[in-house]
């Protein structure tokens, strides 16, 4: 076992992947608890796809993909937040923004394939790979993570209040729109950086999965955020280890995709959370009476 | 169970509950409920939060099987008598852009559960117009429901419940979210329609005061038990003290009735607060 | 005449692949708008996005197993719809939709990786392929359209009631859960027909865009449904013309045209509200 871990960490692609994966898992896990609490899973998922379009635009324009992801992601988030007030209206508006951005993305990817005459670019953007992360983006990704978490820390109390009981919060003077917009900003940053390093698929899995599991086990929001980050970390690190190991597996020793393992682990955690309800989990985890 | 009305199972009884008990998660939500309601009678259901009001409605609607006892509507098992029970839900807040006019909503009450498109034509239209006229909603029949006020919507929901000619209509907290004037309007409307059409009304509410002028009997629920009778018979210190299991005072001020509890005053006064 | 020739060059209507495209496109647009009407009514846009997207994994699996890609699409869209119904609760439909989608895409990435580097027919399914439609595909899509028409006609009233007022409908004998499952299967049906034509990423544009716009234009359910189908068909026609003229992917035009219709709908509702607000008597 120890030998396996040693060889794992010695592999040149694994250590950076673990480092950046952990960063993304923690940020997404913490932000995800609020996404789940506010019922914004669709927006959280849509932002990953929207950022992909931004990345394609950046690629065509010769800019770093990170700025494409974050720039277009933030714009998309603001559009989603601004277009819908009521739940159903917001749902449809999110869909239309996503549909339009996917359409533009299709156009840009078409231009990319025309130019490079290969599907490598689109595939990398759509599915991403944590093993091929460029080490130079480590610092900006870390800074963006920090920014998102600081924003959440700043918003924490009004955000919890506005998410749990919006009417009461409004009566107490919490500016719902302002809180919603700032949270959307934090969400967009968190989703886009994970979409960049891990692909749009994993960005949704790491945002929703650990958080949905965590809130089933504890109602205390701070504890849920910590647990969610932990579950995300667990899925990412075990997933990376399995993906590394899978190069020795059939068929063809080409390795199984890391995204498959991470999603599998995240889903296992979620199904455990569904099957082992809070009453069983409460023996293990602290649960205070109806925090918030 | 303290029933101040002798238990009767008349031929003409609309709703009969005999020894009904419901346990949820090891807790008795309702137990020992016997009651019998007459045609055209207006019954207010009052009780603090968690007293079992919603559970009682679910049982009468046939959505929940009681663990013990029987429930009959017009002498038939509830599930066979679904068409005889009308229902007005607690909340209905359509979006402004929902493509549904007032008349479409009411029409769903007539045949919304049937398969296929409706082929009723003129007769169906006339029936919808008639139901709209009962609740004085003809003048906004073609407005989208999402742009109506709370009181206007509430009247439509009453029409939707009445259009299938039920024997009994259940209203779940219809007065919550309404201003005082609309509360009075809805209560008067429901009382009038029940009287004219001979429909039994079961109206659940937090506050009995808006109902005092129209209510024939009151069903007071607490701790999963019930007391049924006229207001003067039930809303008395001794009756409610026994029901709640600890001392309760009934105070009458300016024609309003307040129920004041000793031990946990907050939950008890909620029996009279305005939703 | 120059503009006319540019807009409608020869071959747009006469080339046999374009004739297939017109037929299949029209049928898919009508079918998607029909199902989309209920999608928008129920606020289930995420589901409409996730089911076609998840079905993509089925196509990848079919390529790996050497089977028919459309069969793979059908199986995965139905399975993901049923998975969402099984896991979903009233409170957290979004979470379970996301997680079922993730499960399918996780499998999809595995199938793609195991299946080898390059599978052009799979990537075609991502963005659709309007020029590759054969006559048999057209018949298959028309068959699916008829099936969906029959199902919608049968389900119309209970599904409508359960979508707009679920509490009352349930109390009057329309079970909410059964309606949810039937609705999700309708979405799966639409996805199976639409994905080969407009692609896994953009088939939901045809479901959501026209129906969302129609909700603003139509006042009664019947009107909104009819307008949704009209807008859907008009959108695909415009997109086909533009795509043929420019050679750009048809999915882009579908997304752009339906978004324009949605914008017009919102503008219309806005103006109408101002108009009504002026003459309104306070109630």
Q: In chain C, whose CA is at the least distance from the CA of B152?
A: C283
Share of chain A above pLDDT 70, in %: 86
Domain map of chain C by residue range?
A: 3-274
DSSP state letters, A224-275: HHHHHHHHHHHHHHHHHHHHHHGGGSTTTT----HHHHHHHHHHHHHHHHHH
Please tell me if residue A253 touches chain B, with a CB cutoff of 8 Å: no
Closest partner residue to C99 (CB to CB) among A102, A107, A212 is A212
Pick from B258, B228, B261, B266: nearest CA to B38: B228
Please give the average per-residue pLDDT across B252-275, as a whole number: 59
C126 within 8 A of C8, measured Cβ to Cβ: no
pLDDT of A2 higher than 70: no
Which value, in Å, is the radius of gyration of the alpha carbons in chain A?
19
pLDDT at B274: 39
What's the rounded Cα separation, in Å, for the pair A65 and A53? Answer: 10
* Whether B112 and C160 lie within 8 Å, measured CB to CB: yes
C87 CB neighbours in chain A (<8 A) are 274
pLDDT at C1: 54
B91 CB neighbours in chain A (<8 A) are none
pLDDT at B236: 81
Pick from B6, B8, B32: nearest CA to B20: B32
pLDDT at B111: 85
Each residue's pLDDT tens digit, C147-184: 989 999 999 999 999 999 988 898 888 988 899 999 99
CATH top-level class of C3-274: mainly alpha
Q: In chain A, whose CA is at the least distance from the CA of B93?
A: A86
Strand order in the sheet with B200-204: B2-3, B225-229, B217-222, B42-46, B200-204, B168-172, B85-88
What is the least distance, in Å, from the CA of C224 to any CA of chain A?
A: 15
pLDDT at C41: 92
Closest partner residue to A96 (CB to CB) among C110, C208, C251 is C208
B95 CB neighbours in chain A (<8 A) are 86, 88-89
* Whether C172 and B112 lie within 8 Å, measured CB to CB: yes
- The SS3 call for residue A91 is helix
* Whether A106 and C127 lie within 8 Å, measured CB to CB: yes
* Whether A102 and C255 lie within 8 Å, measured CB to CB: yes
**CATH number of the domain where residue A154 is located:** 1.10.3470.10
* Whether C106 and A263 lie within 8 Å, measured CB to CB: yes
Each residue's pLDDT tens digit, C174-229: 988 899 999 999 999 999 988 888 888 888 899 999 999 999 998 899 999 999 99
Closest partner residue to B113 (CB to CB) among C161, C220, C224 is C161
Q: In chain B, whose CA is at the least distance from the CA of A85?
A: B95
pLDDT at A279: 59
- Domain around A224: 2-291
Query: Helices A2-10 & A14-38, crossing angle to 10 degrees?
Result: 100
In the structure, what pLDDT confidence band is assigned to residue C8 with cuts at 50, 70 and 90?
confident
Please tell me if residue C178 touches chain B, with a CB cutoff of 8 Å: no
Each residue's pLDDT tens digit, A111-143: 887 776 555 555 566 656 677 777 777 888 899
Q: Which helix (H) or strand (E) segment is B259 a member of?
A: strand B256-261
What is the least distance, in Å, from the CA of C43 to any CA of chain A?
A: 5
pLDDT at B48: 82
Phi and psi at residue C156, to the nearest 5° = -45, -60
pLDDT of A228 higher than 70: yes
Question: Which tokens hold the place of B263?
Answer: 């031990």
Please give the average per-residue pLDDT across B88-104, as a whole number: 87
pLDDT of C279 higher than 70: no
Question: Which tokens hold the place of B225?
Answer: 């038990």
C95 within 8 A of C43, measured Cβ to Cβ: no
State how many domains chain A has: 1
pLDDT of C110 higher than 60: yes
DSSP state of C131: G
pLDDT at A209: 93
Disruptive mutation site among A32, A33, A36, A42 for chain C (greatest number of C CBs within 10 Å) = A42
B25 CB neighbours in chain A (<8 A) are none
Disruptive mutation site among B95, B98, B177 for chain A (greatest number of A CBs within 10 Å) = B95
Please give the average per-residue pLDDT across A161-185, as a whole number: 87
Pick from B12, B10, B16: nearest CA to B34: B16
State the ipTM, two decimals: 0.90
Please give the average per-residue pLDDT across C14-23, as a whole number: 84
Each residue's pLDDT tens digit, C99-109: 999 999 889 88
Please give the average per-residue pLDDT across A64-77, as a whole number: 88
* Distant-in-sequence, close-in-space partners of A258: CB < 8 Å, separation ≥ 6: A17, A129, A130, A131, A239, A240, A243
Question: Which tokens hold the place of C148?
Answer: 């969906």
Please tell me if residue C205 touches chain A, with a CB cutoff of 8 Å: yes
Q: Which residue is it, tokens 């048809």?
A: C250
Closest partner residue to B63 (CB to CB) among C157, C171, C269 is C171
What's the rounded Cα separation, in Å, for the pair C58 and C77? Answer: 8
What's the rounded Cα separation, in Å, for the pair A36 and C98? Answer: 11
Average pLDDT, chain B: 83
Please name the residues between 60 and 119 in chain A that touch chain B, using a CB distance below 8 Å: 86, 88-89
Contacts 24+ apart (CB under 8 A), A9-15: A11/A244, A13/A131, A13/A132, A14/A131, A14/A240, A14/A244
C238-275 burial, b for 16+ CB within 10 Å, e for fewer? bbbbbbbeeeebbbbbbbbbbbebbeebbeebeeeeee
- Which of the pair, C78 or A199, is modelled with greater confidence? C78
B119-151 burial, b for 16+ CB within 10 Å, e for fewer? eeeeeeeebbeebbebbebeebbebbbebbebb
* Whether C97 and A106 lie within 8 Å, measured CB to CB: no
Each residue's pLDDT tens digit, A11-39: 777 788 888 889 999 999 999 999 998 88
Please tell me if residue A279 touches chain B, with a CB cutoff of 8 Å: no
Each residue's pLDDT tens digit, B109-164: 988 888 877 776 888 899 999 999 988 899 999 998 988 988 899 999 999 999 98
pLDDT at B267: 44
Please give the average per-residue pLDDT across C264-274, as a whole number: 84
What's the rounded Cα separation, in Å, for the pair A34 and C227? Answer: 38
Q: Is A19 exposed, middle or buried (0-12, 13-18, 19+ CB in 10 A)?
A: middle
Look at the alpha carbons of A212, A216, A220, A222 in this order and tell me if their dihedral is positive or negative.
negative
Q: Is C116 exposed, middle or buried (0-12, 13-18, 19+ CB in 10 A)?
A: exposed
* Whether B151 and C283 lie within 8 Å, measured CB to CB: yes
Q: Which helix (H) or strand (E) segment is B268 a member of?
A: helix B265-269
**Distance from the Cα of residue B88 to its chain's centroid:** 8
Strand partners, B45: B204, B219
* Whether B149 and C283 lie within 8 Å, measured CB to CB: yes
Pick from A198, A197, A225: nearest CA to A213: A225
In the structure, what pLDDT confidence band is assigned to residue A291 with cuts at 50, 70 and 90?
very low
C94 CB neighbours in chain A (<8 A) are 39-42
Disruptive mutation site among B26, B91, B97, B147 for chain A (greatest number of A CBs within 10 Å) = B97
Please name the residues between 153 and 192 in chain A that touch chain C, using a CB distance below 8 Å: none
pLDDT at A149: 93
Average pLDDT, chain C: 86
Please tell me if residue C159 touches chain A, with a CB cutoff of 8 Å: no
Pick from C188, C203, C63: nearest CA to C128: C203
* Whether B97 and C269 lie within 8 Å, measured CB to CB: yes
In the structure, what pLDDT confidence band is assigned to residue A245 with cuts at 50, 70 and 90?
confident
Closest partner residue to B111 (CB to CB) among C155, C157, C215 is C157
DSSP state of B30: E
CA distances C54 to A150, C75, C141, Å, are 35, 10, 20
pTM, 2 dp:
0.87
In the structure, what pLDDT confidence band is assigned to residue C6 with cuts at 50, 70 and 90?
confident
SS3 content of chain B, % helix, strand, coil (to 5): 35, 25, 40
Please tell me if residue B95 touches chain A, with a CB cutoff of 8 Å: yes
A89 CB neighbours in chain B (<8 A) are 95, 97
In the structure, what pLDDT confidence band is assigned to residue C245 with cuts at 50, 70 and 90?
confident
In the structure, what pLDDT confidence band is assigned to residue A290 with cuts at 50, 70 and 90?
very low
* Whether C102 and A205 lie within 8 Å, measured CB to CB: yes
* Residue-level length of chain A: 292
Share of chain C above pLDDT 90, in %: 45
């Amino acid at each position: 076992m120890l030998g396996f871990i040693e060889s794992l960490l010695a592999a040149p692609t694994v250590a950076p992947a673990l480092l950046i994966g952990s960063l993304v898992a923690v940020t997404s896990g913490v932000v995800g608890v609020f996404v789940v609490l506010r019922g914004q899973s669709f927006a959280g998922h849509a932002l990953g796809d929207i950022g992909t379009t931004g990345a394609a635009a950046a690629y065509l324009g010769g800019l770093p993909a990170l700025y494409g992801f974050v720039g277009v992601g933030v714009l998309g988030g603001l559009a989603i937040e601004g277009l819908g007030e009521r739940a159903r209206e917001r749902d449809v508006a999110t869909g239309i923004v996503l549909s339009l951005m996917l359409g533009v993305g299709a156009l840009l990817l078409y231009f990319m394939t025309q130019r490079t005459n290969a599907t490598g670019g689109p595939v990398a953007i759509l599915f991403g790979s944590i093993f091929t992360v460029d080490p130079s983006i480590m610092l900006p990704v870390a800074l963006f993570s920090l920014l998102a978490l600081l924003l959440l820390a700043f918003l924490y109390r009004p955000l919890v209040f506005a998410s749990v009981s919006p009417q009461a919060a409004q009566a107490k003077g919490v500016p719902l729109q302002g809180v919603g917009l700032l949270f959307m900003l934090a969400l967009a940053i968190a989703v886009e950086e994970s979409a960049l390093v891990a692909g749009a698929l994993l960005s949704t899995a790491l945002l929703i999965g650990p958080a949905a599991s965590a809130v089933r086990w504890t109602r205390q929001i701070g504890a849920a955020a910590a647990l969610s980050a932990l579950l995300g970390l667990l899925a990412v690190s075990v997933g990376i280890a399995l993906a590394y190991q899978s190069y020795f597996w059939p068929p063809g020793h080409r390795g199984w995709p890391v995204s498959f393992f991470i999603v599998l682990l995240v889903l296992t955690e979620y199904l455990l959370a569904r099957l082992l309800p809070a009453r069983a989990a409460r023996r293990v985890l602290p649960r205070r009476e109806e925090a918030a | 169970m303290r029933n101040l009305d002798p238990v009767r199972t008349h031929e003409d009884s609309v709703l009969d509950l005999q020894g009904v008990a419901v346990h949820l998660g090891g807790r008795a939500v309702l137990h020992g409920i016997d009651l019998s309601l007459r045609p055209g009678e207006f019954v207010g259901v009052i009780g603090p939060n968690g007293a079992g009001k919603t559970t009682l409605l679910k049982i009468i609607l046939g959505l929940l099987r009681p663990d013990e006892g029987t429930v009959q509507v017009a002498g038939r098992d509830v599930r066979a008598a679904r068409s005889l029970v009308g229902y007005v839900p607690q909340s209905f807040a359509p979006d402004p852009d929902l493509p549904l006019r007032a008349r479409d909503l009411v029409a769903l009450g007539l045949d919304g559960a049937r398969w296929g498109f409706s082929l009723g034509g003129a007769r169906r239209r006339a029936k919808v117009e008639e139901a709209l006229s009962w609740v004085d909603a003809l003048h906004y029949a073609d407005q989208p429901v999402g742009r109506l006020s709370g009181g206007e919507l509430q009247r439509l929901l009453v029409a939707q419940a009445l259009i299938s000619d039920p024997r009994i209509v259940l209203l779940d907290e219809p007065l919550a979210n309404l201003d005082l004037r609309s509360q009075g309007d809805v209560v008067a409307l429901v009382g009038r329609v029940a009287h004219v059409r001979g429909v039994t009304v079961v109206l659940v509410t937090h506050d009995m005061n808006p109902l005092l002028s129209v209510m024939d009997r009151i069903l007071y629920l607490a701790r999963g038990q019930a007391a049924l009778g006229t207001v003067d018979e039930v809303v008395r210190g001794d009756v409610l003290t026994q029901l709640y299991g600890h001392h309760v005072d009934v105070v009458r001020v300016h024609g309003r009735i307040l129920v004041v509890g000793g031990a946990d005053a907050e939950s008890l006064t909620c029996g009279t607060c305005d939703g | 005449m120059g503009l006319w020739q540019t807009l409608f060059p020869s071959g747009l209507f006469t080339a046999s692949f374009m004739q297939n495209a017109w037929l299949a496109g029209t049928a898919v647009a009508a079918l998607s708008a029909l199902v989309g009407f209920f999608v928008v009514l129920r606020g289930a846009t995420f589901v409409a996005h996730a089911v076609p997207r998840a079905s993509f994994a089925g196509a990848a699996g079919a390529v790996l197993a050497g089977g028919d890609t459309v069969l793979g699409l059908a199986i995965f869209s139905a399975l993901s719809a049923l998975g969402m119904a099984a896991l979903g609760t009233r409170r957290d439909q979004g979470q379970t939709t996301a997680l079922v989608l993730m499960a399918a895409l996780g499998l999809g990435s595995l199938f793609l990786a195991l299946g080898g580097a390059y599978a052009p027919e799979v990537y075609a399914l991502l963005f659709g392929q309007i020029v590759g439609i054969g006559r048999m595909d057209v018949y298959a899509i028309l068959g699916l359209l008829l099936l969906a028409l029959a199902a919608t006609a049968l389900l119309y009233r209970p599904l409508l009631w359960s979508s707009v007022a679920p509490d009352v409908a349930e109390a009057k004998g329309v079970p909410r859960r059964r309606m949810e499952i039937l609705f999700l299967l309708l979405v799966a049906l639409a996805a199976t027909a639409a994905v080969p034509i407009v692609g896994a990423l953009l088939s939901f544009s045809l479901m959501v865009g026209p129906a969302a716009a129609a909700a603003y234009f139509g006042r009664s359910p019947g009107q909104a449904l009819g307008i949704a189908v009209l807008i859907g068909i008009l959108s695909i026609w415009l997109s086909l013309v533009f795509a043929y003229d420019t050679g750009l992917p048809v999915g882009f035009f579908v997304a752009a045209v339906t978004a324009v219709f949605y914008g017009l709908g919102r503008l219309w509702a806005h103006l109408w509200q101002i108009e009504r607000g002026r003459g309104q008597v306070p109630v």
